[in-house]
Structure 1
């Protein structure tokens, strides 16, 4: 069964997310562990986590197909020591929150080296990850590095850069990858063709290894191939598009093995329509074969 869902709001509480996910036709989801634009985070109360886990079981949602997305302020590549230390501390707390909810994956952007150079930034990321993992030795939560748009001083637009981070860590087995289709398109990965999709899959497999890919952020792009703008668009309405774009990409068996998470514009009602649209297109393609 294909795992398909969206980023869900926790404004009504963690325990409401499973039901809200089912309402929009999803069977997986992504959430923030706290307000994403704040440095402050705390563990949820035991009562909250008990209800959340009960709702997950009741709604039949596999906790290992869902993901937590870290806050926006985290930058493990930062040359600002205060920012770096706060980033490490916050990611460590987020890992504990993820574990308390019984979820498996915590996704974060590698960060920006702020002009200090790629290798210096990678070294800082690796050092930060190792501290976070050492502070969560009893956790089975896996950290996921998300590929980013190729712009500025951001690290992680290529799988070679992600591989350098994973290989540099003292615990590479606890680190995986999330592939964002908009970010990848921004960085030159053209999934609108069969050859382009083949190239993407081979690029992942020949670097980090396809087994390291755990999640897919399913986003169209407001800008053309290689633009490096990082502007998400509704599936089928951007430059990737559906016919000759996502249709073939999403029909690949290797891609269908991974959960798909929408981070597209709009709220629950919009994502409900998107999920319905994606399912209908996949069904129509299967029926035409």
Structure 2
């Protein structure tokens, strides 16, 4: 199964909100935590940072408040090698904030982003020169949940017919139930994802949104228009559906410290592989390798293996890869 072809060898542009993030350190319930660690968290900037780690030229477009949180976010994303010169500073609105509350079974996330600087983003972002010269623009389903103007931004980007776009568009469903009014997300996210060139969705997300009994092939029937649809089945496997069939690659076996951010890392790995011209199997493998780096840390962005280790994993036979896979 061949990878997607991109219209130009330009940079990748990731558009969306990044927040300051507070989490107990060491990980424990907020009810009993004594210390909080400050980091940054945002689906699109997570993808951008991992793409930079993987050698891609990448820009992040967003808005931040004129505050200490905003300065910390900007510095952290820039330090990862991402171009942040297109990030606007808003003197009127604050930087968004999230707080993680680790539990025995899962980490709860509390958002404080209503009225944030990034919630005022709109279709004007698409006029940025970085977008016009991009080979790929990456968006997620978080952005249309933030405000009417943010939804207009995503709808306008995806509203251009595929054969008229100067760049490819990838869209990760990234369903965040806390951001959506009850009952509104399913139709909006399905419609948006179905307009992308490359779409990503977790099987658990798809089941929550569109039907508890869905299998990966059912998701493809719901999202039939993307040239590539990647359905991520947690720590089990990822399935890439294209015009010529489906490619399935098991996930790597790894110790999980925290799952938050792994989906963004996977998307970055898959996109980086696709931009390099990898076939779909190798792109899926790079997605799993990158996701494992996020799973091993408490933050959203962990260190990748060295280039030789990555190359060795990519070159494994199917049987050898399977020996490294599974929970």
User: Which range, TM-score by smaller chain?
Assistant: 0.3 to 0.5
Question: Which has the larger helix fraction?
Answer: 1
Normalised by the length of structure 2, the TM-score is: 0.38
